[in-house]
Amino acid sequence: MLRRIQYVCLLVAAGVLLGLPVSAQQNPQRLVLKDSSYQTVTKWEIRGDRVRYYSAERYAWEEIPNDLIDWPATEKYNRERDSQRSSAAGELVRQDEVDRQLDDVQRPLVSPGLRLPYGGGVFLLDDFHTQAQLAELAQNGGEVNRHTGKNILRAAINPLALSSKQTLELKGAHAQVQAHVPQPVIYVNVDPTDDITAKVISAGQGKDFELPAERYRIVRLERKKGLRVVGNLNIGLTGHVTEKASWIATTSSAVGDWVRVTPVEPLDPGEYAVVEMLDKKQVNLYVWDFGIDPGGAANPAIRTADNPGPMNENPPVNEKPRELEKRPK
């Protein structure tokens, strides 16, 4: 929308600079006189030894002797001005197409009239009472602050931990965001470069290190005494991780700058989380939790085609990832 407004403003500015009228019915030209002055007109007609023209400045019909007009100069000026108008209009159209293509990369269209926002983040595409809605999923790792956008929190599993078993637990029986459809689509766009991933890469992966093909996976959470358990992670002294979690089969595909994650089959009502795989052996302990509740209440702070969110959206200021706090034994 902001680019559309800028496009209209640029079009008006170009019209002013090139002498374009505000009204689409006018097409101002010049009748250049032999004394180098001119009349700005929209049209004219020759009647004997006089020229009758409609003034674009005074909005009235006027007349002037034919022999006062420099016809070669008039023709040359109007031909060049028409060429300038065509070039300016063509450039505006080309720039608008470039902006539209950039929008498709940074803000893909996920439903008629509804685009993902600038700045990245993790969003769940829901359908509430036949209305497409985007709900942002906040990172959750227990007692941590919520951060949105590309600059997310990360904490990798310590492969040299003395304990051979770690459990990731989320407080609360339910996630803040509840999907009302059994097969919600989740869009992810987060920055893969930070201190944590740099350590993972430098831990012996070599130059050919690549993020996993299924970088984002969905796991079903277990409810336990007012908590939601992501799963038990058994860790060997070599750093090998065996996940004992209820992984959900998903498909992942690139959509512009985003990754679209879709469950292969409808999900049962319950609690789930999106998990980031740092590599084949290590996972990010900060997850994005959500639930499936077809009869649940409306989600807060959603985006719709009628309410797409702020026009000026900037990525959040970079912050150093905080370490996940130790949980009491």
pLDDT tens for residues 260-278? 999 999 999 999 999 888 7
Condensed to tens digits (0 to 9), the pLDDT of residues 282-317 reads 777 788 999 999 999 999 889 998 887 654 454 444
pLDDT for residue 1 is more than 80: no
> Do 124 and 100 belong to one domain?
no
CA pseudo-torsion sign 202, 203, 206, 212: negative
Side chain identity at residue 56, one-letter code: A
> Do 122 and 212 belong to one domain?
yes
Q: Is residue 166 included in any domain, yes or no?
A: yes
> Do 102 and 115 belong to one domain?
no
> Do 76 and 136 belong to one domain?
no
Q: Is residue 303 included in any domain, yes or no?
A: no
**Strand partners of residue 187:** 123, 260
> Do 50 and 7 belong to one domain?
yes
Contact 111, 127 (CB under 8 A): no
Percent of the chain predicted with pLDDT > 90:
39
Q: Is residue 307 included in any domain, yes or no?
A: no
**Strand partners of residue 243:** 233
> Do 35 and 127 belong to one domain?
no
Domain that holds residue 78: 2-106
> Do 255 and 177 belong to one domain?
yes
Which CA distances in Å does 252 have to 111, 172, 209, 298?
18, 29, 20, 27
> Do 72 and 149 belong to one domain?
no
| Averaged pLDDT for residues 82-105 | 75
Contacts of 267 (CB under 8 A, 6+ apart): 182, 183, 184, 220, 248, 292
How many separate domains does the chain show?
2
Q: Is residue 160 included in any domain, yes or no?
A: yes
pLDDT for residue 163 is more than 50: no
Contacts of 209 (CB under 8 A, 6+ apart): 201, 279
pTM above 0.75, yes or no: no
Cβ-count burial 303-326 (b if 16+ within 10 Å, e if not): beeeebeeeeeeeeeeeebeebee
Condensed to tens digits (0 to 9), the pLDDT of residues 30-42 reads 999 999 999 999 9
Q: Is residue 314 included in any domain, yes or no?
A: no
CA pseudo-torsion sign 103, 104, 107, 109: positive
- More confident: 2 or 229: 229
pLDDT, the chain, mean: 75
Q: Is residue 325 included in any domain, yes or no?
A: no
Q: Is residue 323 included in any domain, yes or no?
A: no
> Do 57 and 152 belong to one domain?
no
User: How many Å apart are CA 309 and CA 236, to the nearest integer?
Assistant: 46
> Do 219 and 131 belong to one domain?
yes
> Do 162 and 277 belong to one domain?
yes
| Averaged pLDDT for residues 204-229 | 73
Query: Token match 């904490």: residue?
Result: 155
